[in-house]
């Protein structure tokens, strides 16, 4: 009798479990409670695009400015190379000009009148050669510094001595011992000069 009741109870137990499973389905079979990830909001996406566009524009402008600076530097370097590329050669040629001038100045003015025509022509030819050579150097931007009578400028002149002279302002170039030259905007060789002292301040 007890066996039959136990068997009945056992038969009811699986049925009851099945009914509970049916009443409470498993979480695996249930759909997810979280909402699916949707598309970004239009305003947020538009703002991101604006920021990206501004960043790209800034990078483009910086790149263009850098390219322009590089181009300008390259043009300046080419121009400087054309103008100052002959600096060393021009500086060496100044010694030749100095020798021509010394040769012409070696003959005093009183002795020139007593020279025979051949010697006078030779002396004049030296002066012509000097002027012609200076004109050729001028084509490359080499120009003499007009120092005599000017105010002493340490950027252009090299003072060798001072000479008393109260008739001129102190610091005036009174004598040029060696002619100075510039090339372009640079000093090729400063003028070696003597300056006055004792006069009124300039």
d(CA 186, CA 118): 41
For residue 79, give Cα distances in angstroms to 65, 84, 88, 149, 184.
21, 8, 17, 33, 11
For CATH 3.90.20, the residue range(s) in the chain are 59-140
What predicted TM-score, i.e. pTM, was given to this entire model?
A: 0.62
Span 42-69, pLDDT tens digits: 778 888 888 999 999 999 999 999 999 9
Average pLDDT over residues 105-118: 86
| 39 — pLDDT class (breaks 50, 70, 90) | low
Average pLDDT over residues 128-155: 94
Report the 10 Å Cβ neighbour count for 199.
Answer: 15
Average pLDDT over residues 20-24: 49
Checking if the pLDDT of 190 tops 70, the result is: yes
Average pLDDT over residues 176-185: 94
Q: Which fold has domain 59-140?
A: Hemagglutinin Ectodomain; Chain B (3.90.20)
Residue 72's pLDDT is 94
Nearest by Cα to 97 from 61, 167, 144, 166: 144
The answer to whether 109 and 101 are in contact (CB under 8 A) is no
Average pLDDT over residues 123-133: 92
| 38 — pLDDT class (breaks 50, 70, 90) | low
In this structure, what token pair is assigned to residue 29?
């079979």
Contact residues for 149 (Cβ-Cβ < 8 A; gap 6+):
172, 173
Residue 7's pLDDT is 47
Residue 96's pLDDT is 92
Task: For the domain covering 142-202, report its CATH number.
Answer: 2.30.22.10
Average pLDDT over residues 85-89: 90
C-alpha 8, offset from chain centre:
103
In this structure, what token pair is assigned to residue 55?
């960043």
Residue 18's pLDDT is 47
| 37 — pLDDT class (breaks 50, 70, 90) | low
Stretch among 11-15, 144-148, 160-164 having the lowest mean pLDDT? 11-15
Q: Which residue has the higher pLDDT, 25 or 82?
A: 82
Average pLDDT over residues 159-172: 92
For CATH 2.30.22.10, the residue range(s) in the chain are 142-202
Residue 29's pLDDT is 46
């Amino acid at each position: 009798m007890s066996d039959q009741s136990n068997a009945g109870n056992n038969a009811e137990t699986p049925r009851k479990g099945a009914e509970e499973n049916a009443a409470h389905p498993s979480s695996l079979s249930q759909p997810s409670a979280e909402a699916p990830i949707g598309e970004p909001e239009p305003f947020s996406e538009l703002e991101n695009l604006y920021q990206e566009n501004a960043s790209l524009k800034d990078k483009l402008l910086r790149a263009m400015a850098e390219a322009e600076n590089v181009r300008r530097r390259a043009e300046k370097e080419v121009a400087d190379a054309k103008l100052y590329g002959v600096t060393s050669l021009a500086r060496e040629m100044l010694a030749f000009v100095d020798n021509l001038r010394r040769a012409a100045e070696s003959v005093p003015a009183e002795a020139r009148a007593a020279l025979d025509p051949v010697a006078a022509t030779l002396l004049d030819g030296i002066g012509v050669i000097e002027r012609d050579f200076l004109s050729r150097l001028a084509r490359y931007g080499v120009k003499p510094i007009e120092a005599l009578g000017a105010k002493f400028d340490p950027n252009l002149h090299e003072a060798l001595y001072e000479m008393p002279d109260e008739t001129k302002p102190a610091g005036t170039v009174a004598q040029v011992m060696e002619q100075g030259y510039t090339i372009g905007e640079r000093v090729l060789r400063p003028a070696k000069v003597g300056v006055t002292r004792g006069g009124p301040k300039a």
